[in-house]
């Protein structure tokens, strides 16, 4: 007996909010990606909790794939950011205003 599932869900929710907070308020492309990573992690926690709740491996399998997706995300994202940084010398999202 650990905790009710609601606690896990709530923890995931808080983490998710933190992730959102990070991506929305930090004027830094890295931090945006980082925030999304936190969001994915939050989802992973909920999945694991749910898997335990239902005694179902599905949730854990989900997390497995989430990890892979997170890795992809970081690699592609960082490549773009670095590339952009080389061209513009900044990671501030507000410098990207060419398109309008």
Q: Which positions from 18 through 57 interact with other proteins, judged by CB under 8 A?
A: 18-57
Angle (CA) 65 11 1, round 5° = 90
Residues 64-93 that bind other proteins (CB under 8 A): 64-87, 91-93
Q: How far is the CB of 46 from other proteins (least distance, A)?
A: 4
Q: How far is the CB of 25 from other proteins (least distance, A)?
A: 5
At residue 73's C-alpha, the angle toward residues 68 and 79, to 5°, is: 130
Give the CB-side neighbour count of residue 41, counting CA atoms within 13 A. 13
Q: Measured from the CB of residue 95, what is the shortest distance to other proteins in angstroms?
A: 9
Structure tokens at 74: 């970081």
Tell me, by CB under 8 A, how many residues bind other proteins.
96
Residue count of the chain: 100
């Amino acid at each position: 007996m650990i905790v009710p599932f609601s606690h896990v869900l709530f923890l995931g929710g808080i983490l998710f909010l933190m992730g959102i907070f990070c991506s929305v308020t930090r004027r830094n492309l890295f931090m945006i990606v980082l925030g999304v990573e936190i969001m994915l992690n939050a989802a992973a926690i909920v999945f694991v909790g749910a898997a335990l709740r239902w005694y179902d491996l599905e949730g854990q399998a989900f997390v497995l794939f989430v990890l892979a997706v997170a890795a992809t995300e970081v690699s592609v994202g960082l490549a773009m950011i670095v590339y952009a940084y080389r061209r513009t010398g900044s990671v501030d999202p507000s410098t990207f205003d060419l398109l309008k």
